[in-house]
Chain A
Amino acid sequence: MKKISQKEIHKYLRHDKKFPHVWCPGCSNGIVLGSTIRAIAELGFKKDNVAMVSGIGCSSRMPVYADFNTLHSLHGRAIAYATGIKMYKPDMEVVVITGDGDGTAIGGNHFIHAARRNIDLTVILINNYIYGMTGGQYSPTTPHGDKSTTTQYGNIDPTFDICKLAIGAGATFVARTSAYHAAESQSFIMQAFKHKGFSLVEIISACPVIYGKLNKKGDAPAMMKLMKENIIPVKQYEKLSQEDRIDKQTRGILFHDTEKMEYTDAYQELIDSINKPEEGSNE
């Protein structure tokens, strides 16, 4: 993996009146933006050819800072907007920035159907276990028993395993890591871009100001440490007893299928097949 300098990163940021950003101190979103830009820089994509699409939420504020073709769409709908862009311009690199609420609650339907189609989108889902923008309500990934402003007696909801959901729905590249593992994030995002098909990179992130505070997880460095300790490689996880697996999540490339037909390719094949000249035609 190539080391991308700060100077290089700045080439991919917008500098006209966009900073300071909206994110709270200690938020992981900036780290993920850094990993995303490093991956794009390493791949050498032309900025003009990258579309960054998001929905609504903290993580979805990312596109405004990045110097690409950027679309801050509606809550939950980023993948559907991105599908339109990718279908119309299959040669563009389309990356979706979403969160746990945006991507798997209100946007769950689009998430599974884009995965089913295997359309070539790179979805970076930043999972902070909470709705941060609206002040800390519980999401489909808020751990069982945890506090949020709408689960003040503890969360009774079971959670989604977003990666399993994506695999089950038909995604062909699925990886998970955390914002602490920034180099690994960069590597996974890069591989996701390279993969032709629906790619999901779930990045567990720290929300110290809301989720951390409500659940006594400590400050930003303490939450970084937690991610370091709790988000562990699959092999390490498998060695643990059931009891030790509580609070732990796997990281790594969890699924990769290079065989399944990508959707815009399939559509192009359809176009080609109906437009090919009829055999025996005299014209």
Chain B
Amino acid sequence: MSSTKTKRKTVLMQGNEAIARGALAAGLDFFAGYPITPSTEIAEICSVELPKNNGKFIQMEDEIASISAIIGASLAGAKTMTATSGPGYSLMTEGIGFAKMTETPCVVVNVMRGGPSTGLPTKPSQSDIMQSKWGNHGDAPAIVLYPNSVSESYELSIRAMNLAEKYRTCVVLLSDEVLGHMREPIELPDLSQVRIVKRIKPTKPPEWYQHYPDNPKYPMPKASFGEGYRFHVTGLVHDSKGFPTNRADETAILMERLRNKIIHHMNDIVQLESFQMEDAKVTIFAAGITSRAAKEAVIMARKKGVKVGLLRPLTIWPFPDAAIRKLLGGQETIIVPELNEGQLSREIKRVMGCCWNDNVKTCKHIVQLNKTDGQLITPIEIFNLIKEVI
């Protein structure tokens, strides 16, 4: 491409392709993966594109090896990603915990399909919302993003890579079978204008270098293997230099750091989108593919004069408790449509101060719409529910 061509270009692109191209735009230079429907296009595109720019692609023997290889490469200085779906994500969870514990940047894409187990490999689902936070053992906060269009898949893929780098953690990018496989026109950004978080190299002499500084600022200088710093990395609880410890004070510092780097940066991490919320009495809370049907339902209801709005999280975890409490506080009814048995609605009930059990009186105004038969929730189904609750 000639350098004078800086005009933004509109192309037809598939959701999975957008994730791959977004990550490449963000500097992805190492991808390890294992084939699984419906995520395979991401690996396929990376296998073609990475070696063109001296990047590396490797198809590993399983998903455990894939997450391990990207963490290894990240420690050696790479910007890394892997992509999978439910069964593979389950296998990766121990590695995801390791990346969080060792504060090693990487991105895991989970193109959700119907579960549990092998489930419905070619059907959409949103049933890994909870797993994306709680999948790994132990307390470790998560950053999880979930787009609702092809162009947003591209944007959030860049954002996932940036957040992973900035906060030194494993960021999960959720998608789903329909989002991953549908095609939409997308306007590609001028790459020179895209904000990329680069890895800052330490300037301290090696003997002063702490891989895990006590008072971190994000982003922070971080050494990679082979750069003269010879630090230690372990999944054991470790001190500021990375060496194992079981001292209570050092353990507390580590656990606090892992927690605080997320909860102290909520404003930076959380993205919420509201639509027609100004005068709404009823609000639909929906994410990902379901939010598109919800938006359509809002438009239909508005035409009938019903005051309905839509609140959509682009960041699923950390869950934006305070913002949601503020935005949904005055609502008579909140409808939560989702392709699972009630994972986002459970959070809404928690945030709005009521028990998850539907029979509890205080929860009357939170209405679930759940579907787990492999079909999408349609605008008309949400519209009909709006009519029912007003």
Greatest chain B CB density within 10 A among A18, A84, A92 is at A84
Query: Is A270 engaged at the interface, CB distance under 8 Å to the other chain?
Result: yes
Q: Which of A35-43, A45-53, A154-162 contacts B (4 or more CB under 8 A)?
A: A45-53
Q: Would you call A48 and B69 a contact (CB within 8 A)?
A: no
Q: Would you call A87 and B56 a contact (CB within 8 A)?
A: yes
Query: Is A282 engaged at the interface, CB distance under 8 Å to the other chain?
Result: no
Q: How many residues of B contact A (CB 8 A)?
A: 43
Contact with B along A19-33 (1 / 0, CB 8 A): 000000000000000
Q: Would you call A64 and B226 a contact (CB within 8 A)?
A: no
The residue of chain B having its C-beta at the shortest distance from the C-beta of A270 within the complex is B51
Q: Would you call A89 and B51 a contact (CB within 8 A)?
A: no
Greatest chain B CB density within 10 A among A47, A74, A82 is at A74
Q: Would you call B58 and A83 a contact (CB within 8 A)?
A: yes
Q: A74-B94, A275-B52 are in contact. Are A84 and B226 (CB under 8 A)?
A: no
Chain B residues contacting A51 (CB-CB under 8 Å) are 76, 225-226
Q: Would you call A48 and B65 a contact (CB within 8 A)?
A: no
Partner of A74, one of B32, B61, B98, B229: B98
* B241 to A: closest C-beta gap in Å: 7
Q: Would you call B243 and A69 a contact (CB within 8 A)?
A: no
Q: A84-B69, A87-B58, A271-B54 are in contact. Are A92 and B226 (CB under 8 A)?
A: yes
Classify the interface of chain B: helix, strand, loop or mixed.
Answer: mixed
Chain B residues contacting A67 (CB-CB under 8 Å) are 230
Greatest chain B CB density within 10 A among A53, A69, A82, A267 is at A69
Chain A residues contacting B70 (CB-CB under 8 Å) are 84
The answer for the CA separation of A121 and B77 in the assembled complex, in Å, is 18
Query: Is B30 engaged at the interface, CB distance under 8 Å to the other chain?
Result: yes
Q: Would you call B65 and A72 a contact (CB within 8 A)?
A: no
The residue of chain A having its C-beta at the shortest distance from the C-beta of B233 within the complex is A71
Q: Would you call A85 and B68 a contact (CB within 8 A)?
A: no
Q: Would you call A74 and B65 a contact (CB within 8 A)?
A: no
Give the residues from 62 to 112 in chain A that come closer than 8 angstroms, CB to CB, to chain B.
Answer: 63-64, 67-74, 77, 80-85, 87-89, 91-92, 109-110
* A36 to B: closest C-beta gap in Å: 16
Partner of A63, one of B64, B73, B232: B232
Q: Would you call A80 and B60 a contact (CB within 8 A)?
A: yes
Partner of A84, one of B29, B73, B228, B243: B73
Q: Would you call B75 and A71 a contact (CB within 8 A)?
A: yes
Q: Would you call A87 and B69 a contact (CB within 8 A)?
A: yes
Query: Is B323 engaged at the interface, CB distance under 8 Å to the other chain?
Result: no
Query: Is B95 engaged at the interface, CB distance under 8 Å to the other chain?
Result: yes
Query: Is B236 engaged at the interface, CB distance under 8 Å to the other chain?
Result: yes
Query: Is B72 engaged at the interface, CB distance under 8 Å to the other chain?
Result: yes
Give the residues from 54 to 87 in chain B that come closer than 8 angstroms, CB to CB, to chain A.
Answer: 54, 56, 58, 60-62, 64-65, 68-78, 80
Q: Would you call B65 and A47 a contact (CB within 8 A)?
A: no
Chain A residues contacting B60 (CB-CB under 8 Å) are 80, 83, 113
The answer for the CA separation of A77 and B70 in the assembled complex, in Å, is 12
Q: Would you call A87 and B232 a contact (CB within 8 A)?
A: no
Q: Would you call A83 and B226 a contact (CB within 8 A)?
A: no
Partner of A85, one of B75, B95, B244: B75
* A76 to B: closest C-beta gap in Å: 8
Q: Would you call A18 and B243 a contact (CB within 8 A)?
A: yes
Partner of A109, one of B61, B225, B231: B61
The residue of chain B having its C-beta at the shortest distance from the C-beta of A72 within the complex is B234
The answer for the CA separation of A83 and B64 in the assembled complex, in Å, is 13
Q: Would you call A82 and B61 a contact (CB within 8 A)?
A: no
The answer for the CA separation of A53 and B236 in the assembled complex, in Å, is 14
* A48 to B: closest C-beta gap in Å: 5
Q: A72-B236, A73-B235 are in contact. Are A53 and B72 (CB under 8 A)?
A: yes
Chain A residues contacting B243 (CB-CB under 8 Å) are 16-18, 64
Q: How many residues of A contact B (CB 8 A)?
A: 39
Q: Would you call A69 and B69 a contact (CB within 8 A)?
A: no
The answer for the CA separation of A92 and B72 in the assembled complex, in Å, is 13
Partner of B235, one of A69, A74, A89, A109: A74
The answer for the CA separation of A17 and B238 in the assembled complex, in Å, is 13
The answer for the CA separation of A83 and B68 in the assembled complex, in Å, is 9
Q: Would you call A64 and B232 a contact (CB within 8 A)?
A: yes
Query: Is B227 engaged at the interface, CB distance under 8 Å to the other chain?
Result: yes
The answer for the CA separation of A91 and B226 in the assembled complex, in Å, is 9
Q: Would you call B30 and A48 a contact (CB within 8 A)?
A: no
Chain B residues contacting A68 (CB-CB under 8 Å) are 230
Q: Would you call A70 and B233 a contact (CB within 8 A)?
A: yes
Chain B residues contacting A110 (CB-CB under 8 Å) are 61, 65, 68
Q: A16-B241, A49-B226 are in contact. Are A80 and B69 (CB under 8 A)?
A: yes
The answer for the CA separation of A271 and B225 in the assembled complex, in Å, is 23
The answer for the CA separation of A77 and B64 in the assembled complex, in Å, is 8
Query: Is A274 engaged at the interface, CB distance under 8 Å to the other chain?
Result: yes
The answer for the CA separation of A73 and B232 in the assembled complex, in Å, is 11
Q: Would you call B65 and A88 a contact (CB within 8 A)?
A: no
* A152 to B: closest C-beta gap in Å: 30
* B118 to A: closest C-beta gap in Å: 20
**Chain A residues proximal to chain B, CB less than 8 Å:** 14, 16-18, 47-49, 51, 53, 63-64, 67-74, 77, 80-85, 87-89, 91-92, 109-110, 113, 267, 270-271, 274-275
26 residue pairs A–B, Cβ–Cβ below 8 Å: A69-B229, A69-B231, A70-B230, A71-B225, A71-B233, A72-B233, A74-B68, A74-B98, A74-B235, A77-B64, A77-B65, A81-B69, A82-B72, A83-B60, A84-B75, A84-B78, A84-B80, A85-B72, A87-B58, A87-B73, A88-B78, A89-B77, A113-B65, A267-B51, A267-B56, A275-B51
**7 shortest interchain CB distances as A-B pairs:** A84-B72, A80-B68, A84-B69, A84-B73, A81-B72, A72-B234, A69-B225
**Chain B residues proximal to chain A, CB less than 8 Å:** 29-30, 32, 51-52, 54, 56, 58, 60-62, 64-65, 68-78, 80, 94-95, 98, 225-236, 241, 243-244
